[in-house]
Chain A
């Protein structure tokens, strides 16, 4: 297949590096989906690969591949935009390349150990070399340290490049956010026998990533993406970014409390967590308004149709997945019954896909356009752009379908296991046997295959879009009339 090989002479050094990050991101995205399908299958056929590749292993690979592909995507996006935004060359290209290869090798080794070693004895050596067994941040300690070092190299590269060139509102927010994002990871690197303490700090990483630092990070990418695809006015976009940061962190930092209802932490978290997390949807609404308004005033005239479509999908996905599906179970009165049921899975899928898969895909398209020689990607692509349109539809239908199926199962589980059964071993299985629950699991699997079909098409499109395009890119202009 020659489809992926491209002339890279029209890319800057940072952009070539970004393409490497994107390539690994897509490979891991495929792994995520494969292991998601395997995990889902085990609900339907528990004997499938029993004691060969058990649920805990397939699930761990599923969610770890997700976290890592998204982080690779974000790093790619930042390497992509840093030189244009700072108006200078990347300071440490060699170092950046080295860090990329170190990180990629480390990830490969970690996944191979997950698959072939799986578990170890109850010794600290297992924590150091096999896995930490803490959901999302299972990577063994040696890899944690490697990851932090590579993140530091990355941050140095980005901050030093802005320092050498010029700063902007977007880059200022971006660099401060990266410092917080990397710093939080350290909170996930320690062992304690005390499970309450363990989970207290574990949530600092998990929640303060996805509901604080990652949100701000994608806010920056979104701001830059709107300037790129629509030619949106920088001053307006920057103001919006500040509004989003103010509201997101204003609510999201103490919103952390919605994970401190039932883990042994004091009762004041019921009030604090409930109140502040209930405010978290506000900035997500603001983001939808911003994106839709911006494409509206530009009459949706833009340089890159697929990218803009995915940016809009991001705005809505973030709002529904995080804002609506999060809000549904964030009040303690409700969470008491839904905590740790398929409700959580329903929310987890819509939120991660809606907020973070979408914007990464948008950036892939922005990068491809330049890589293929600033080709035309607006209305009227060959075949009416059927591949990207079907990929988008199938992926969104698949994930929304899974979300709905899981919500049905979650409802049944919350009623039967939590409310009626009192959450015992027997009550758990009574809920798992329920007709509605089981049907939800079947539909999740069916929509999982739809999602997978969407991904196949997406990759086909990424490999081929713009290859034979002769027209050149529509240059977006800022032709908004600002009143007020």
Chain B
């Protein structure tokens, strides 16, 4: 029962081993580069202290997509934070999203569940109305999503998750920071909240 070489057990065993090995090595090499490029403080994934600045969107015609821009000073909740304090605040917010399981209703960077709006650009959402009122409205919403519900006629509401004031501040910081990440133009044609000097 001898097979031709391309149908032989031996040939395909070698192929399986070699293809797997080569692809794994390539993935590991790419991972080194990617991890460097997505470490906070890099071009694509800015430092946490970006929350001290105004964030807006600009259309980059060479890349044919919108890209986030970190603008003038615009401290969150009126206080400019050091890099360390900014990281601590963003981390508090990120931990809140995990502890309250936001990802099983919402998507973050487009991943998660589809029962509620994507949070990637929540900070820049036009529904917050004015730039000045935004951060407080977000905190209010997180503390009491029931009373502040909109739902746009679907009857769907976010539940009260027992978020504390401190956690809410963290979440807003985390959302603001997440909106600075260069997501290669996702979500396409996002219409940000109108801000002074963003065009």
Residues of A within 8 A of B (CB): 42-43, 46-47, 50-51, 54-57, 59-60, 118-124, 126-127, 130-135, 138, 169, 173, 191-200, 202, 235, 238-239, 242-243, 245-247, 249-250, 253-254, 256, 259-270, 272, 336-337, 339-342, 344-345, 413, 418-419, 422-426, 428-430, 432-433, 482, 484
Q: Across the interface, do B162 and A119 meet the contact criterion of CB distance under 8 Å?
A: yes
Q: Across the interface, do A51 and B160 meet the contact criterion of CB distance under 8 Å?
A: yes
Q: Across the interface, do A121 and B127 meet the contact criterion of CB distance under 8 Å?
A: no
Q: Across the interface, do A122 and B99 meet the contact criterion of CB distance under 8 Å?
A: yes
Q: Across the interface, do A42 and B115 meet the contact criterion of CB distance under 8 Å?
A: yes
Contacts of A54 in B (CB 8 A): 105, 159
Q: Apart from A46-B155, A264-B109, list 14 A-B contacts with CB within 8 A.
A: A46-B156, A54-B105, A121-B167, A194-B38, A194-B45, A197-B35, A197-B39, A259-B111, A265-B38, A345-B114, A422-B188, A426-B152, A428-B116, A484-B4
Rounded to whole angstroms, the CA-CA distance of A245 and B160 in the bound complex is 48
- Choose among B1, B16, B111, B185 the residue that contacts A245 (Cβ–Cβ < 8 A): B16
Show 8 residue pairs from A and B whose CB-CB distance is below 8 angstroms, ordered by the A residue: A46-B151, A194-B38, A246-B15, A256-B27, A266-B37, A340-B112, A340-B118, A432-B152
Contacts of A50 in B (CB 8 A): 157, 159
Contacts of B159 in A (CB 8 A): 50-51, 54
Contacts of B126 in A (CB 8 A): 424, 426
Given known contacts A336-B185, A340-B112, A484-B4, is B118 in contact with A428 (CB within 8 Å)? yes
Contacts of A432 in B (CB 8 A): 152, 154, 156
B189 within 8 A of A: yes
B98 within 8 A of A: yes
Q: Across the interface, do A423 and B190 meet the contact criterion of CB distance under 8 Å?
A: yes
Q: Across the interface, do B101 and A119 meet the contact criterion of CB distance under 8 Å?
A: yes
Q: Across the interface, do B13 and A242 meet the contact criterion of CB distance under 8 Å?
A: yes
Given known contacts A262-B186, A264-B45, A418-B188, is B15 in contact with A242 (CB within 8 Å)? yes
Given known contacts A133-B103, A245-B20, is B95 in contact with A239 (CB within 8 Å)? no
Given known contacts A56-B104, A196-B181, A200-B38, is B154 in contact with A130 (CB within 8 Å)? no
Given known contacts A59-B113, A60-B104, A127-B98, is B186 in contact with A261 (CB within 8 Å)? yes
Q: Across the interface, do B109 and A253 meet the contact criterion of CB distance under 8 Å?
A: no
Contacts of A60 in B (CB 8 A): 101, 104
Q: Across the interface, do A254 and B38 meet the contact criterion of CB distance under 8 Å?
A: no
Residue of B nearest to A42 (CB): B115
Main secondary structure of the interface of A (DSSP, over half): helix
B12 within 8 A of A: yes
- Choose among A42, A59, A197 the residue that contacts B38 (Cβ–Cβ < 8 A): A197
Rounded to whole angstroms, the CA-CA distance of A50 and B151 in the bound complex is 14
- Choose among B27, B30, B92, B156 the residue that contacts A122 (Cβ–Cβ < 8 A): B92
B49-87 at interface with A (beta carbon < 8 Å): 87
Rounded to whole angstroms, the CA-CA distance of A341 and B107 in the bound complex is 9
Q: Across the interface, do A337 and B188 meet the contact criterion of CB distance under 8 Å?
A: yes
- Choose among A196, A246, A418 the residue that contacts B19 (Cβ–Cβ < 8 A): A246
Contacts of B39 in A (CB 8 A): 194, 197
Q: Across the interface, do B100 and A133 meet the contact criterion of CB distance under 8 Å?
A: yes
B125 within 8 A of A: yes
B1-47 at interface with A (beta carbon < 8 Å): 1, 3-4, 7-9, 12-13, 15-16, 19-20, 23-24, 26-27, 30, 33-35, 37-40, 44-45
Rounded to whole angstroms, the CA-CA distance of A126 and B99 in the bound complex is 6
Rounded to whole angstroms, the CA-CA distance of A12 and B184 in the bound complex is 56
Rounded to whole angstroms, the CA-CA distance of A197 and B185 in the bound complex is 18
Contacts of B188 in A (CB 8 A): 336-337, 418-419, 422-423
B167-199 at interface with A (beta carbon < 8 Å): 167, 170, 174, 178, 181-191
Given known contacts A250-B20, A422-B191, A484-B4, is B184 in contact with A261 (CB within 8 Å)? yes
Contacts of A126 in B (CB 8 A): 95, 98-99
Contacts of A193 in B (CB 8 A): 40, 48, 87, 90-91, 94-95, 174
Contacts of A433 in B (CB 8 A): 152-154
- Choose among A132, A200, A253 the residue that contacts B23 (Cβ–Cβ < 8 A): A253
- Choose among A118, A127, A197, A423 the residue that contacts B118 (Cβ–Cβ < 8 A): A423
Q: Across the interface, do A423 and B121 meet the contact criterion of CB distance under 8 Å?
A: yes
10 nearest A-B pairs in the assembled complex, by CB-CB distance: A133-B98, A423-B187, A429-B152, A262-B186, A242-B12, A56-B104, A340-B110, A193-B91, A250-B19, A253-B23
B10 smallest CB distance to A (angstroms): 9
A128 smallest CB distance to B (angstroms): 11
